[in-house]
Amino acid sequence: MKAKKNNAMPSRTLSKKSLMRSRSKARTSSLSPSQIRAFQKKIYNYYDIQGRELPWRKRVTPYRVVVSEIMLQQTQVDRVIEKYKEFLTAFPDFKTLAKAPLPKLLKIWSGMGYNRRALSLKKLAKALVSEHKGKLPSDPEVLVTLPGIGKYTAGAVSAFAFNKPVVFMDTNIRRVYIHEFLHDRRNIHDDELIPLVQQTLDTKNPRKWYNALMDYGSMLKKEQVNPNQRSAHYTRQSPFENSNRQVRGRIVKVLVKGSPLTAARIVKETGMDAERVRRNLEQLAQEGFIVKKQDRYLIE
């Protein structure tokens, strides 16, 4: 009987926790009209005074938006601004990008990190030219089927490029809702935040609303302890120094100069550990970033 009682305890405890979470979720997912108005006013007041002037917000086109969104994945805004203008000058539309020589594309992308995104952009452009007459769809369910576009990017592109009242989540949006509505909570799941995003969405001008949320969230990160640390989805980005990302970045930077090089020469040029360079060379070749011809590597 004692063993049976002990076995039953965890089940009752878990059920209680589950019930508490459901009740908490119910509380946080229902806002009054006055709460919604006050929240929207607060966000817009900040945006009207402190809103950032970003190049992809000035002349909005689907192409400019999707390029900015993919560039902004895991890269700071200031760094993206530098590369964004150069990228658009070299590749002003989907048709040009689809035909872009890979060495030129990676040379311009160099310094942004996560070079796989550059390949994804080129694949996206090729898919749009061949399957969608060079036009970006506005429906998030269609967008998410395209190369390089995940659930968040599909929602962001739909809102920013087409001003559609879609609901989506990113790190800045998450930060805002945790800070404003869940002050004393930890281990917060996005499924608790999504109803709040949906209720407070400015359906008349979702583009402006999400821009305002992004800027308010960016400010929160700089001015206080990051509220996202209380999210169940929070992870710290691994250090760049001496990482595989750094090794891969240096390899690409060496090869975009144009000359085919041996592994030994690439090791010397990058100044990185020989074994790690060789391992990453093979991986980059498998992924299609670089080509191995006999004993030399190149981008073509």
Write out the DSSP string of the chain. -HHHHHHHHHHHHHHHHHHHHHHHHHHHT---HHHHHHHHHHHHHHHHHH----HHHHS--HHHHHHHHHHTTTS-HHHHHHHHHHHHHH--SHHHHHT--HHHHHHHHTTSS-THHHHHHHHHHHHHHHHSTT-----HHHHTTSTT--HHHHHHHHHHHH--------HHHHHHHHHHH-TT--SB-HHHHHHHHHHH--TT-HHHHHHHHHHHHHHHHHHSS-GGGGBTT--PPPP-TTSHHHHHHHHHHHHTTS--EEHHHHHHHHTS-HHHHHHHHHHHHHHTSSEEETTEEE--
Active-site residue among 53, 69, 82, 180? 69
**Is 282 assigned a catalytic role?**
no
Q: Indicate which residues carry an active-site annotation.
A: 69
